[in-house]
Chains A and B, each alone.
Chain A
């Protein structure tokens, strides 16, 4: 116990740095995947076959393969096969590749949730809008969008919470997020070696952060309760 107390400041400093990396990946993934998911949702609902089929094909691939493999492909493929290591080997390159892989993966999941939300709005509303002379985009932004948002909040909450924990997968390409930061003390870092507890301690960070996220999303759900 005394030993742990002595190690605590160093470990916490390292875990905090790792958690900032985790947060950066989390936030950028959401910022990218929210809009991209909507684009993909429109693609997979398009009446143009040339747009619909390729989009659904991509969604099938991305949802049907492990994110870990996608990370490996995004990061190593350019250098291995195309002989053009576009990401470089440094920390920034690993981070950028992680963000790209995560955005693509989560956008595909989001797109299906969006699609469900959009299609759950009764067709009568669209017909009513058309009769009133509204354009398709007016109907989407003024009639459907808010209803869709309200309906997708619960399934989206699930995905967002999963995303927090999924960020740990990026360690496979050497992105130094919080699990990495905790695990390195097993082997030895900054004078501490053979310490197991920091790895398990990282769970607390996830738990607290996910608690905050759940609370915020719960509030959002309440705010949207003013209509059915």
Chain B
């Protein structure tokens, strides 16, 4: 009993330390250690690797490298479990999340986010042979939707009042539809373009209704001064055309937002 009490006391003593964010500048911290650790998941065309290559490329990856260079540090990419992104930031195991992240209220309250830099939408994925019946929001009311737990897609479907089945990842939602355990899935437009259709395991799936439009941003630790530094970098690279140049390389120039 005494030990339990002691353990509880130790924990409660440590907790307040977590509540106070560090007073020092995050920018200085990153520059001192010389690396900007970028948390990503494999997500073409934002962060991905080409066949036989170990180098991370993509619109987000190339921008992250350029941003790191402007700070005089190296960008280091590390794949994380997407559910743990806030843990990873606060635990200082990564310095930013730069991976086609939708700016939701939850994200913006838990992180210091940059200005929006890219447009996206949540789309409904259904089997291709049934796609004709599901072309508007009313027609999909009776379907069951597989959604990624905690995703922007889940929020959209819940707001419509339709039935959802939350699963681990956006990739899993497609398996649900493919296996017939759910009628439809809701995922990112940019991801749907890469993951379904010809040349994938989901040749029989297609996307129809766009439920909303939304914006991508980059996330930093709450209170970090890196967000302001990135906004400045976005503005500069948009003005000199280098941002659009990188975007064109990956075919996302139409989605890029003016800075």
Residues of chain A at the chain B interface (Cβ within 8 Å) = 3, 10, 53-54, 57, 72, 75-83, 85, 87-91, 93-94, 171-174, 176, 180, 183-184, 186-197
Contact = CB atoms under 8 A, between A and B. Distances in A.
A195 B174 CA distance: 11
Given A76-B91, A81-B14, A190 B170 contact: no
25 contacts: A10-B52, A75-B91, A76-B93, A79-B92, A79-B93, A81-B15, A81-B17, A81-B18, A82-B14, A82-B17, A83-B22, A89-B93, A90-B37, A173-B81, A174-B78, A174-B79, A174-B80, A180-B79, A186-B174, A186-B201, A187-B42, A187-B171, A189-B49, A192-B51, A194-B196
Contact of B92 (A83, A90, A186, A187): A83
Given A89-B78, A90-B37, A194-B174, A80 B91 contact: yes
User: Which residue, B41, B90, B93, B200, has most C-beta atoms of chain A within 10 A?
Assistant: B93
Interface of B: 3, 14-15, 17-18, 22, 37, 39, 41-44, 48-53, 76, 78-81, 84, 87-88, 90-95, 169-172, 174-175, 178, 191, 194-196, 199-202
B94 A194 contact: no
Residue from A54, A194, A195 with most neighbouring chain B CB atoms (10 Å): A194
Q: Which 6 A-B pairs have the closest CB atoms?
A: A194-B200, A79-B91, A186-B171, A191-B51, A85-B92, A89-B93
Contact of B201 (A180, A184, A195): A195
Contact of B76 (A10, A89, A173): A89
A79 B90 contact: yes
A3 to B, nearest CB: 8
A29 B201 CA distance: 36
A174 B194 contact: no
A93 B201 CA distance: 34
A93 B76 CA distance: 13
A191 B87 contact: no
Given A87-B93, A187-B195, A188-B44, A176 B79 contact: yes
Contact of B84 (A173, A187, A197): A173
B255 to A, nearest CB: 18
Contacts of B95: 89
B64 to A, nearest CB: 14
Contacts of A188: 42-44, 48, 194-195
Contacts of A194: 171, 174, 194-196, 200-202
A187 B41 CA distance: 9
B63 to A, nearest CB: 19
Nearest to B168: A183
B93 A75 contact: yes
B51 A171 contact: no
A196 B48 contact: no
Contact of A196 (B42, B87, B91, B175): B175
A225 to B, nearest CB: 44
Contacts of A172: 81, 84
Contacts of A196: 175, 178, 201
Given A80-B87, A89-B93, A190 B194 contact: no
A132 to B, nearest CB: 40
Contacts of A192: 51
Given A80-B90, A188-B42, A189-B42, 17 more contacts: A53-B3, A75-B91, A78-B91, A80-B91, A83-B92, A89-B92, A174-B88, A186-B174, A186-B195, A186-B201, A187-B170, A188-B194, A190-B53, A191-B50, A192-B51, A193-B200, A196-B178
B81 A171 contact: yes
A184 B174 CA distance: 14
Contact of A10 (B51, B87, B195): B51
A193 B78 contact: no
A183 B169 CA distance: 11
Nearest to B91: A79
A91 B42 CA distance: 15
B43 to A, nearest CB: 7
Nearest to B94: A89
Contacts of A87: 93
A75 B84 CA distance: 12
Contacts of B91: 75-80, 85
B250 to A, nearest CB: 13
Nearest to A180: B79
